[in-house]
Structure 1
Amino acid sequence: MQSPISTDRLRFLLNRLRERLWVRPLAVCLISIAAVFTAKLADDSGLADFVPEVTLDSIETLLAIMASSMLMIATFSVSSMVSAYASTSNTATPRSFSLVVADDVSQNALSTFVGAFIFSVVALMAVKNAYFEKPGLFILFILTAMVFAIVIVTFVRWVDNIARLGRLGSTIDKVEKATARALQQRKKFPTLCAMPETSTELQGQPIFTSSVGYVQHIDMAAIQSWAEETHSQILIAALPGTLAAPDQALAYISSSDNLVNSAAQNKSSHDKSAIDCSSVIKAFQIGNNRLFEDDPRFGLVVLSEIAARALSPAVNDSGTAITVISSLLRLLTLWNGANVQPGQETESEEEQCKYERIAVPTLCMQDMFDDAFTAIARDGAGAIEVSVRLQKALNTLSAIGDTEMNEAALYHARLALKRAQRALDVEEDIAIVEKAASFSKHASKQ
């Protein structure tokens, strides 16, 4: 019996809620209202003889100040965040917008300011209507002082953060960190805890979706449960980040009960009705945009876009492109396994084949290099400093990588050299780039 929602699916949905600006402010508002009415519990606790008396005027003054100032500060914080979001789209790339929106410091600051405003308004109404007695007023005074302290600390921390939010360097750091998390997760589970794909030929009944969009998440637990019920084997054809369309297969299903045969590989309706595959199709979360979480290649694409925009004639910022190349070098070095701890590898080996009825292909190293370096090599071919830095990065990856990474690095080094030779006009500049790319020539002779 298939569970209503798997743990993996729940994690995906919770992460999507985290990107919504209204979630945390709403939660803090509810907590603020609950805190006000919690103070009423002190009236029935027998603390009247032990707590000092707090005047109504002092509490009303504090709450009035908080109510009038917090709304203004919350409005200011929203306007500052909107300006930062606009700056991100203009200076970096719109694809990095979701990371800036999900910034914890900004969301916590907005939630704190809005929550303090709601707290002060509700508490002020309760005090005006003589809702509290002596113990309740004392507890409310303590809560108000605590809220003031939290607001001050949050504001100071937020001011330091908002000065960097939306800046190009900060955006590159956020994209690199998000990509590193996705790469580490995929490095740990290269086949999404399923069996590795071993067949070079796609076999079975293809399943399709009527939606057009990107695969954002695959509920592997749901697919495994369905496969066990139907005694089927499933080959995933569309990993997260793949463009899904009515003519692109999401997966291929084969059954040991001969419900699916070789003739079912076409898309005719009577063939697809051999097995009800709607549950498998629903396990593929398809949306309009790619997401960083389950799609390591998307982060490489976004970093490449930032570098390409920096290299455009309107911007002409080769320094940003060099910074991006350094980020890509760190990420691909991480993917190569230089920063994977031995304990993590052991745990990965134990859990990699949890879904034994599903086969998943691994990421192609050539595709990752295409995502990372093609745009930079094309748009930075005319900038000698970018071309040289790119060749040095590819030389490092060629030296530290395995056979697959070495071949991809050599291919892109030669391709980048050809572009630089066509784009550069000065012979001395071409000679410098050729010297930096000499490692690719030596490799081809061996």
Structure 2
Amino acid sequence: MLPTLLRRLHAFSRRLVVRVALIAALAFLALALSKLGARVIPEGLDPLVGGEAVDNILKIIANSMLTVTTFSLTVMAAAHRMVASSWTPRAHQMLLQDTVTHTVLATFVGAYLYALSAIILRDLEVFQGRGLMVLFGMTLLVVALIVVAIIRWISHLEMLGSLINTAQRIEESTIEAMRMRMCHPALGAHALDPEKIPEGAEEVRADKSGYLQQLFQDRLQTAAEHHDARIWLLHPVGGFVHRGEVLARISGGGEALAGKLRENAVLGSLRNFDQDPGFGLTCLSEIGVRALSPGVNDPGTALDVLHRILRIFLDTEGEAPDEVRLDRLYLPALDRASLLIEALRPLLLDGKDRPELQTPFTRALQALGEQDDPALSESARALGKDFRT
């Protein structure tokens, strides 16, 4: 598990505006380096590059990148709307973390700002003589980066927003989250047993309603150690908490620890994939259920979703849990049996009357029923009985 600081930085870096701002800053840095680099160019090389050649390239970049950026933003918005309307609105969050799209768009914006700024500086006669030669070399480098970005963008557009790409990315994120939770069933803390919470433990109530998006458990551990306290969190990551509902119970620390708890148990309007494999399973299940609706009538997609859900559980089976590191925290452990029921029951209910799905569903449930996890296999057998009745 990553420490809180790295997790926050990772989440921050996946925002489009951050990448655009970063590459824009690099564009201005490139211009500054072009000016400073003129000092290392030997005398007598000035005539090799004419100002008109540089100006023409800069104008082409400025004119084309503005158009390309506008077009690319339109394509991105259209892909987001298509995924939300065709597959499931929850999958839209996966596209918001599409680093390829973010990097390509940031490259286009950065190139536009570079060219526009260079044109202004040329009109102010900032680049002359040897500086003009360095600017020409830097501009050729920007052109090369634009070409690479366009090739990546064309390749990426082939699958952007498609069902295969969307479902594959959800599956990969869910497997990653599931493996992390298998190694850390209670996120590195003790597994919560509600019966063992001391009667005198103080209640901490939620100050707003929302999904428990993620926990920064290392900071909770630090706060509990500072106050010589214990924390029993009553809701799993991904669970919905109502305003005024008991979020956790603590022994010691008072309001200061309660404030730290509310700060590091993040509540929000949407779930995310990082610590919540159930969210990815829900997204896949919704895609399959929509495919089986009378308006779509696509059992092939439902079968594909079934196999993806099956892989998520089978490919993460047997991961050995790590030892408890956060000895002052008690968190709800991962309940794979409940996740299996929540993911497969809607599919089974909608697909039980379709003959072409009978055999694949039966084989999938048999495979799950033969796993070493007794709770998971029991849930699979129970689903099988419901499917046959």
In the superposition, the TM-score normalised over structure 2's length comes to: 0.93
After TM superposition, give the deviation of residue 39 of structure 1 in Å: 0.4
1:233 to 208, 230, 233: 230
Q: CA RMSD in A?
A: 2.0
Contact 2:20 2:107 in 1 (8 A): yes
1:367 pairs with 2:338: yes
After TM superposition, give the deviation of residue 42 of structure 1 in Å: 2.0
Structure 1 CA distance for aligned equivalents of residues 134 and 192 of structure 2: 63
1:297 pairs with 2:278: yes
What secondary structure is seen at the aligned counterpart in 1 of 2:145?
A: helix
1:131 to 89, 111, 126: 126
Contact 1:106 1:162 in 2 (8 A): no
Which residue does the alignment assign to 1:99? 94
Structure 1 CA distance for aligned equivalents of residues 56 and 240 of structure 2: 58
What secondary structure is seen at the aligned counterpart in 1 of 2:313?
A: helix
After TM superposition, give the deviation of residue 281 of structure 1 in Å: 2.1
Structure 1 CA distance for aligned equivalents of residues 352 and 326 of structure 2: 45
Alignment of 1:192-271 (within 5 A): 192-198=187-193, 200-203=195-198, 204-255=201-252
Structure 2 CA distance for aligned equivalents of residues 287 and 417 of structure 1: 39
After TM superposition, give the deviation of residue 149 of structure 1 in Å: 1.3
Structure 1 CA distance for aligned equivalents of residues 293 and 132 of structure 2: 63
What secondary structure is seen at the aligned counterpart in 1 of 2:352?
A: coil
1:190 pairs with 2:216: no
- Whichever residue aligns with residue 219 of structure 1, its letter is F
Contact 2:230 2:329 in 1 (8 A): yes
- Whichever residue aligns with residue 381 of structure 1, its letter is K
1:312 to 268, 276, 293: 293
Contact 1:53 1:134 in 2 (8 A): no
Q: Once the two structures are superposed, what CA deviation does each residue of 1:215-239 show, in whole Å capped at 9, x if it has no partner?
A: 1111212221222222222222112
After TM superposition, give the deviation of residue 51 of structure 1 in Å: 6.7
2:378 to 407, 412, 415: 407
Comparing 116-125 with 399-408, greater Cα deviation is found at 399-408
Which residue does the alignment assign to 1:149? 144
Structure 2 CA distance for aligned equivalents of residues 99 and 275 of structure 1: 36
Aligned residues: 386
1:386 to 352, 357, 360: 357
Structure 2 CA distance for aligned equivalents of residues 397 and 282 of structure 1: 39
Structure 2 CA distance for aligned equivalents of residues 372 and 381 of structure 1: 15
Q: Once the two structures are superposed, what CA deviation does each residue of 1:388-421 show, in whole Å capped at 9, x if it has no partner?
A: 2122111111113321211011011111222xxx
Contact 1:71 1:117 in 2 (8 A): yes
Alignment of 1:22-171 (within 5 A): 22-45=17-40, 47-49=42-44, 53-171=48-166
What secondary structure is seen at the aligned counterpart in 1 of 2:315?
A: helix
Structure 1 CA distance for aligned equivalents of residues 71 and 246 of structure 2: 48
Contact 2:38 2:134 in 1 (8 A): no
What secondary structure is seen at the aligned counterpart in 1 of 2:203?
A: strand
5+ unaligned residues in a row in structure 1: which ranges? 1-6, 260-272, 419-446
Comparing 198-207 with 234-243, greater Cα deviation is found at 198-207
- Whichever residue aligns with residue 221 of structure 2, its letter is Q
- Whichever residue aligns with residue 159 of structure 1, its letter is I
**Distance change (3 Å), C-alpha of 1:56 and 1:92:** same
- Whichever residue aligns with residue 331 of structure 1, its letter is I
**Distance change (3 Å), C-alpha of 1:35 and 1:274:** closer
What secondary structure is seen at the aligned counterpart in 2 of 1:207?
A: strand
After TM superposition, give the deviation of residue 163 of structure 1 in Å: 2.4
Contact 2:83 2:162 in 1 (8 A): yes
Structure 2 CA distance for aligned equivalents of residues 10 and 186 of structure 1: 20
- Whichever residue aligns with residue 401 of structure 1, its letter is D
Structure 1 CA distance for aligned equivalents of residues 333 and 257 of structure 2: 27
Contact 1:377 1:387 in 2 (8 A): no
Contact 1:365 1:408 in 2 (8 A): no
Structure 2 CA distance for aligned equivalents of residues 176 and 52 of structure 1: 58
- Whichever residue aligns with residue 357 of structure 1, its letter is R
What secondary structure is seen at the aligned counterpart in 1 of 2:16?
A: coil
Structure 1 CA distance for aligned equivalents of residues 43 and 365 of structure 2: 74
**Distance change (3 Å), C-alpha of 1:17 and 1:276:** closer
- Whichever residue aligns with residue 144 of structure 2, its letter is A
Q: Once the two structures are superposed, what CA deviation does each residue of 1:191-226 show, in whole Å capped at 9, x if it has no partner?
A: 211123356454432211120000111121222122
Q: Once the two structures are superposed, what CA deviation does each residue of 1:106-145 show, in whole Å capped at 9, x if it has no partner?
A: 1111111111111111111112222123222111111111
Q: Once the two structures are superposed, what CA deviation does each residue of 1:272-312 show, in whole Å capped at 9, x if it has no partner?
A: x6886222222211100111111111111111011111111
Q: Once the two structures are superposed, what CA deviation does each residue of 1:373-396 show, in whole Å capped at 9, x if it has no partner?
A: 011011112212223212211111
Larger Rg: 1
Which residue does the alignment assign to 1:323? 304
Comparing 283-292 with 184-193, greater Cα deviation is found at 184-193
What secondary structure is seen at the aligned counterpart in 2 of 1:335?
A: coil
Structure 1 CA distance for aligned equivalents of residues 305 and 113 of structure 2: 43
In the superposition, the TM-score normalised over structure 1's length comes to: 0.82
Structure 2 CA distance for aligned equivalents of residues 52 and 393 of structure 1: 73
Contact 2:54 2:136 in 1 (8 A): yes
Structure 2 CA distance for aligned equivalents of residues 247 and 417 of structure 1: 42
Contact 1:300 1:372 in 2 (8 A): yes
Comparing 395-404 with 68-77, greater Cα deviation is found at 395-404
Contact 1:196 1:359 in 2 (8 A): yes
Contact 1:19 1:98 in 2 (8 A): no
Which residue does the alignment assign to 1:333? 314
Structure 2 CA distance for aligned equivalents of residues 153 and 222 of structure 1: 41
